[in-house]
Amino acid sequence: MVKRDRLTTISAYVFLTIFAVLMVFPFIWMFSSSFKDSGEIYEFNLFPKYPTLYNYQYIFNYSLFPRWFLNSLLIAVVTTVSVLFFDSLIGYTLAKFDFPGRKLIFILILSTLMIPTEMLVIPWYIMVRNLHWMGTYWSIMFPGMISAFGIFLMKQFMSTIPNDLIDAARIDGVSEFGIFFKIVLPLVKPALATLAIFNFIGNWNAFLWPLIVTSSPKMYTLPVGVAYFSSENSMSWELIMTGAAVSTIPLIIFFLIFQKQIVKGITMSGLKG
């Protein structure tokens, strides 16, 4: 019996390792290809015989990648800050204030989760045109400034804060905004971290809306830039893979730092949604 158990454990590790290789291999192949020169790119070897940084130099000096990188960073940071502020404020209000219409407002906000983005992009596009927002960062960012899912998440966390704490501060004469910033926000830091990470990743990777609303290459975000650059250089796979690597590296670093929160966030999205 014990022997059989050990055998199943070993086969479990073997199976999981084979799968891990399948999951990671495309990344390895991407990085490996990005260090090959155009002569070696079609060869089957995993480790480049003549590793070169030429592709990276090319991308940073002769393409708009640095600009796209900054565009994406700016958009992801601004929308994340906005989502953190508004979602926690709304979550707090819905959890801790008793006012007519509270339930209705919460249901209305939650119901927007069912609207697929694809249904909204045409009206958004028309809005951007009519309001002359074309070619601005704002046009890319505005639909993501508040997130309904984040409100749901924050409301759940806010309702665990004891009311006495808030009331005591109120009696001490702390302003309503002061209570929110100085007492409530520090108590929900873990939730804020999870929301920030997910929002950042979501905005960094977003494709459909930035593709629709950006018309000049200078305003592209990194994913739109990668798509554009790759179809422009459709035979130079070493350059395409370098572009893909450049857009992936920040997320891998991000992921390694915040893996615990990411796993926790995914679990929450599944078990509470």
Partner 1 sequence: MRLRQKKIITAYTFLAIPLLFFIVVRFYPMVYSFWLSFTDWDLISPKKNFIGLLNYINIFKDEVFVKAIINTLKYVAFGVPAVIIVSLYLALVLNRIKKFQGFYRLLYVMPYITPLVAVSWVWKWMYQQPPIGFINNLLTILGLDSQPFLMSTSQALPSIVVTTVWVNLGYCVIIFLAGLQTIPQEYIEAAKIDGANRRQILWRITIPLLNPIIVFLAVTQSITFLRIFTQVYNMTDQGSGGPLNSTKPLVLYIYQKAFMSFDMGTAATATVILFGIIMIITLVQMIILNKNIEY
Residue type, 165: L
Output the smallest distance, CB 20 to partner 1, in A: 5
Cβ closer to partner 1: 44 or 47?
44
Output the smallest distance, CB 54 to partner 1, in A: 18
Stretch that binds partner 1, among 4-12, 52-60, 154-162, 182-190 (CB under 8 A): 4-12
Mutual orientation of helices 189-205 and 65-96 as an angle, nearest 10°? 140
Write the CA distances from 71 to 74, 76, 222, 227, 230, integer angstroms. Answer: 5, 9, 7, 15, 18
Tell which positions 98-137 bind partner 1, by CB under 8 A. Answer: 98-100, 102, 105, 108-109, 112, 114-127
Q: Does 219 bind partner 1 (CB under 8 A)?
A: no
Q: Does 216 bind partner 1 (CB under 8 A)?
A: no
Cβ closer to partner 1: 90 or 191?
90
Cβ closer to partner 1: 127 or 161?
127
Q: Does 266 bind partner 1 (CB under 8 A)?
A: yes
Q: Give which of 208, 216, 255 is closest to 134, Cα–Cα.
A: 216
Stretch that binds partner 1, among 48-56, 58-66, 141-149, 154-162 (CB under 8 A): 141-149
Stretch that binds partner 1, among 132-140, 157-165, 184-192, 222-230 (CB under 8 A): 222-230
Q: Does 13 bind partner 1 (CB under 8 A)?
A: yes
Tell which positions 25-44 bind partner 1, by CB under 8 A. Answer: 26-27, 29-30, 33, 42, 44
Cβ closer to partner 1: 128 or 191?
128
Choice from 7, 12, 53, 165 touching partner 1 (CB under 8 A): 12
Q: Give which of 119, 254, 139 is closest to 198, Cα–Cα.
A: 254
Q: Are the C-beta atoms of residues 221 and 140 closer than 8 Å to each other?
A: yes
Q: What are phi and psi of 206, to 5 degrees?
A: -55, 140
- Residues touching partner 1: how many (CB under 8 A)? 86
Q: How many CA atoms lie within 13 A of 96 on its CB side?
A: 24
Tell which positions 81-100 bind partner 1, by CB under 8 A. Answer: 86, 89-90, 92-93, 97-100
Output the smallest distance, CB 139 to partner 1, in A: 12
d(CA 65, CA 33): 18
Residue window 163-202: x/- pattern of binding to partner 1, with contact defined by CB under 8 A: -------------x------------------------x-
Tell which positions 245-264 bind partner 1, by CB under 8 A. Answer: 245, 247-248, 251-252, 255, 259, 262-263
